[in-house]
Amino acid sequence: MMERNRYADLLRVGAIYTVVLGHWLLTDVTYRNGHVSGQDALHQVAWGRWLTLLFQVMPIVFLVGGYANTISWTTHHRRGEDWTSWVRRRAPAAAVADHGVRRRSPARRRRGPGGRRKRG
């Protein structure tokens, strides 16, 4: 088994942390008349749009993810195993991650009374 690349792990964690922190800082949460709502703070602070250009970290997430998959595939291939067993081994983790994203998607949050979807 190969040793983990700690630098790649650091890049991935740092990038994801930056994304979460940025979304947290850019959401203006308000509570009025018994309702919690959120607004994009960039509508109020126009100069902040330019500041977001400095924090474009999603390419790092994808590059490090591609690097990790390349290392995994290369190791798997060197053992003489085929691509189907590699996909079968990795697919459950991807399915779990996808399910978590789908459960919290904005389309699912916009439900009206009785579970019907709201317009807008």
User: pLDDT digits over 80-103, tens only?
Assistant: 988 888 888 888 877 776 655 555
- Closest of 23, 7, 4, 3 to residue 60, by C-alpha: 7
Report how far Cα 86 is from the mean position of its chain's Cα atoms: 23
Residue 84 belongs to a domain = no
Residue 17 belongs to a domain = yes
Residue 106 belongs to a domain = no
Residue 48 in contact with residue 26, Cβ under 8 Å? yes
Report how many domains make up the chain: 1
Higher pLDDT, 49 or 11: 11
Residue 25 belongs to a domain = yes
pLDDT of residue 40: 85
Instruction: Give the pLDDT confidence of 108-120 residue by residue, as tens digits.
Output: 455 555 555 555 4
Higher pLDDT, 94 or 61: 61
Residue 110 belongs to a domain = no
45-49, 57-61, 106-110, range with the lowest pLDDT? 106-110
Residue 98 belongs to a domain = no
Residue 91 belongs to a domain = no
Task: Please state, in angstroms and rounded to a whole number, the distance separating the CA atoms of residues 84 and 63.
Answer: 23
Dihedral, 17, 20, 26, 31 alpha carbons, nearest 10: -140
Task: Please state, in angstroms and rounded to a whole number, the distance separating the CA atoms of residues 94 and 96.
Answer: 5
- Say which residue the tokens 């800082």 belong to: 25
Residue 109 belongs to a domain = no
pLDDT of residue 120: 47
pLDDT of residue 106: 53
Q: Write out the E strands in the chain.
A: 27-32, 35-40
Residue 41 in contact with residue 26, Cβ under 8 Å? yes
pLDDT of residue 14: 93
Domain of 18? 1-61
